[in-house]
Amino acid sequence: MREYEIIILGAGPAGLQAGIHTARRKHQVLILGKSQSSALFQAHIENYFGFRDKVEGKELLLAGFEQAKKFGAEIVEEDVIRLEKLENGAFLVETEKGKTFKAQALILALGVKKKKRLFKNEDSYVGKGLSYCVDCDAWFYRGKRVAVMGDGSAALHGAKTLTKFASLVYFIPLKDIPDIEELKGTSVEVLPYKPLEIIGEEEVKGLKLEGEKAIEVEGIFIEIGAKGPLELLAPLGIELDPETFTHVKVDSKMATNIPGIFACGDITGPPYQLAKAVGEGCIAGISASDYLKAKKST
Ligand SMILES: Cc1cc2nc3c(=O)[nH]c(=O)nc-3n(C[C@H](O)[C@H](O)[C@H](O)COP(=O)(O)OP(=O)(O)OC[C@H]3O[C@@H](n4cnc5c(N)ncnc54)[C@H](O)[C@@H]3O)c2cc1C
């Protein structure tokens, strides 16, 4: 397991700016995430300070990426699938390809997750048997039958986790997943059929699959794309904003309620703007650096 002083989760403008500030302060810094998944990648920017003419978001990202590397930040373009608190205030971070890293401080710059809908009426089942977060909700499905569907390692990981709680776990791949072999030797039953419709009037009772097949389940977990902030952060006990429970709560130094964990950018709430993401990335980077300095001197 490689160790860093600071690990930054997210390679959008907030994460890269935090990387620039921490690396320039000579910390050992690792940035995890894919710039191409940043909201900025699709944007044409006309309202960012210092650019009189329109600039493409992807151009800014590429420049920020190179700039962070130039100052010594390492970047691994993989999604994070698990976070854990270790002894002595350190943190463990696991990526989709099974790499593990340890850090003394974390900066969360994961943006906001855009939810893709798979089924019509999907929203009406949320909290009534449909979940997007295995780590948050697995406990509620003790002894029950569940189906997990997804397109990557986060979904495989979710299916394996659920075997510790549910009486039966089906896994429905939504595309070819090279690592699906990982489920061999587990009790997960793979069903290679396209899911068509959720069955159940008030709550989830089952799932219709292509080929006129159907399964009876009380829980459905959808894991599409990278793990969103809420799913990832659940095991750490990070406090969310008390009104919407959709953003990480931070103080004026971008510190969360957990010592050593900072957050910046869209993940801390609106306005979803590049200038805010970059400004908060700067503050989070400086605060994480100050935190480490104080920790070392005690
Ligand atoms: C179409 C569009 C147009 C926009 N136009 C403007 C504009 O004109 N002006 C303006 O100011 N703003 C605009 N924005 C908003 C701006 O792009 C965002 O506010 C900004 O990108 C937020 O930065 P961020 O770093 O917080 O999040 P993001 O840029 O979304 O970056 C999040 C990062 O986290 C990573 N990540 C997510 N999950 C994981 C995981 N599990 N493991 C590891 N990494 C993960 C992603 O891969 C990505 O690298 C626009 C956004 C969009 C979508």
Same domain for 207 and 153, yes or no, is yes
C-beta of residue 5 within 8 angstroms of C-beta of residue 103:
yes
Going along 64-139, which residue ranges are E strands? 74-76, 80-85, 91-95, 100-108, 130-131
From the alpha carbon of 10, which atom of ligand 1 is closest?
A: 34
Same domain for 217 and 249, yes or no, is no
pLDDT at 298: 79
Q: What is the residue range of 277's domain?
A: 2-113+228-296
Same domain for 69 and 126, yes or no, is no
Query: What are the pLDDT digits (tens) for 107-124?
Result: 999 998 766 789 988 888
Q: Once rounded to an integer, what is the mean pLDDT over residues 161-176?
A: 96
Query: What are the pLDDT digits (tens) for 247-286?
Result: 999 999 999 999 999 999 999 998 999 999 999 999 999 9
The DSSP 8-state label assigned to residue 42 in this structure reads G
How many structural domains compose the chain? 2
Is 18 touching ligand 1 by the criterion CB < 6 Å?
no
Domain boundary among 166, 200, 223: 223
Query: What are the pLDDT digits (tens) for 220-257?
Result: 999 887 667 877 898 899 999 887 778 999 999 999 99
Same domain for 191 and 150, yes or no, is yes
C-beta of residue 162 within 8 angstroms of C-beta of residue 141:
yes
Same domain for 69 and 206, yes or no, is no
> Atom 1, ligand 1: which residue's CA is nearest?
43
Give CA–CA dist 75/88, Å, rounded.
Answer: 25
Q: How would you class 176 by CB atoms within 10 Å of its CB: exposed for 0-12, middle for 13-18, buried for 19 or more?
A: exposed
Q: What is the pTM of this model?
A: 0.80
Percent of the chain whose predicted confidence (pLDDT) is above 90: 77
Same domain for 107 and 235, yes or no, is yes
Give CA–CA dist 252/255, Å, rounded.
Answer: 7
From the alpha carbon of 78, which atom of ligand 1 is closest?
A: 43
Is 13 touching ligand 1 by the criterion CB < 6 Å?
yes
Same domain for 64 and 212, yes or no, is no
pLDDT at 135: 76
Query: What are the pLDDT digits (tens) for 195-220?
Result: 999 999 999 999 999 999 999 999 99
Q: How crowded is residue 86: how many other Cβ atoms within 10 Å of its Cβ?
A: 11
Is 226 touching ligand 1 by the criterion CB < 6 Å?
yes
At 52, which CATH number? 3.50.50.60
Handedness of CA 279, 245, 128, 160 (dihedral sign): positive
> Atom 37, ligand 1: which residue's CA is nearest?
110
Of 8, 9, 35, 38, the residue with max ligand 1 atoms within 8 A of its CB, to mutate for a pocket test, comes to: 38
Domain boundary among 208, 223, 238: 223
Q: Once rounded to an integer, what is the mean pLDDT over residues 76-92?
A: 94
Using alpha carbons, list the distances in angstroms from residue 80 to 7, 87, 192, 231: 11, 20, 26, 11
**Helices 13-24 & 274-296, crossing angle to 10 degrees?**
40
Domain boundary among 179, 201, 223: 223
- Pick the residue with more confidence: 206 or 1? 206
Same domain for 164 and 18, yes or no, is no
Of 91, 101, 274, the residue with max ligand 1 atoms within 8 A of its CB, to mutate for a pocket test, comes to: 274
Same domain for 241 and 257, yes or no, is yes
Same domain for 91 and 238, yes or no, is yes
